[in-house]
Amino acid sequence: MNIVTNKILGKWTEYTISNDHGISVSALDFGGIITKIMAPDKNGKLENIVLGYKDYQDYESNPHYFGAIIGRVAGRIKGASFELDGRTYNLEANNGENHLHGGSGGFHQIIWKVFPFKTDSEAGLKLTYKSADGAGGYPGNLDITVIYTLNNEQLIIDYLATTDQTTPISLTNHSYFNLSGNLKNTIHDHRVTIDSSRFVEFDKDLIPTGKLADVEGTPFDFRSGRILRTGFDHCFEQNLIVGNGYDHYFLFDHTSEFQAIIEEPDSGRMISVKTNQPGLVMYTANALENGLQLTESISRKHHGVCLETQGSPASLYNDNFPGILLNAGDRYEKQTIFTFQVLKK
């Protein structure tokens, strides 16, 4: 039976949606933050598979963006500015000289209106927010809806938006997955598959150079699956630049049924990702410091992997990237589906 429950946490509310198989997803109205996903392992044991804080007040600052909705634009915007129709728009420089994840007042820091729903086959949360013209430096009044829907096999995230002026928009969810369950291990032995033959090259400041690099013969070739530790331990320059791991945009080939797959051999858990987004940023928690009190454990570097399906902000200053501009009268409609599976014993 699909159900929705809620719990008041001071000025916030946490909602939990559950399905017939024991899978549940908990999310706050603050930031739309997914705080917990309970999923079975190969023996049927339910454990949490995402990173979250033990003390919910730590979400107030949330410098690692655990579980949050990111926007207006996910990722870094070079020089904290962009040009549109001959005008320069200046944004907050909250990541060195650059603008990251919508700035300090981005969608990860706002209270969303939440409307729970359920049917015979699914349960969900509809989150809405109106972002005013000029908010964060961005043009246009933007009406946003994000929908979390859980059925018996999948978590579906729909991102919908309209604007009255042309504006950049690229929404994503910043959940860190760890399929070992209850953060027992790091993600070194997670196996990831990505339907991508090109990734975006970084300079030393983690800003795209404009080059789409070929994955062939590099630790960025995930087309047939790769254990993450092979990139953590590699001396390849692009791995070293981001702190021995991955924080890169992969442009999808869209030649496979799923655009990405994560597998963890010990637990038998697997998540397949399907989306109409042009690519994803895979971030492997390279900058996650040791010692944070998480729900079930103390944080460590490489304790989770984010699969941030999104457009690339580099398209604002590179013509060879898929665009992220939404025009007045058009509708932003993006969807990402996470299918939960268990590998056979």
Q: Which residues are catalytic?
A: 174, 308
* Residues 6 or more apart whose Cβ sits within 8 Å of residue 253: 195, 196, 197
Paired strand residues for 298: 293
Tokens 């268990």 appear where? 342
**Helical H segments across the chain, by residue range:** 229-232, 237-241
Closest CA to 99 of 140, 128, 125, 70: 70
Q: Give φ, ψ of 240 to 5 degrees.
A: -70, -40
User: What is the full DSSP assignment across 46-59?
Assistant: EEE-B--BSSGGGG
Structure tokens of 116?
């729970």
Q: What is the DSSP letter of 43?
A: T
At 193 the three-state DSSP class reads strand
Half-sphere exposure of 7 (CA within 13 A, CB side): 9
Task: For 141-221, list the strands marked E by DSSP.
Answer: 142-150, 154-163, 167-168, 172-173, 191-194, 198-202, 208-214
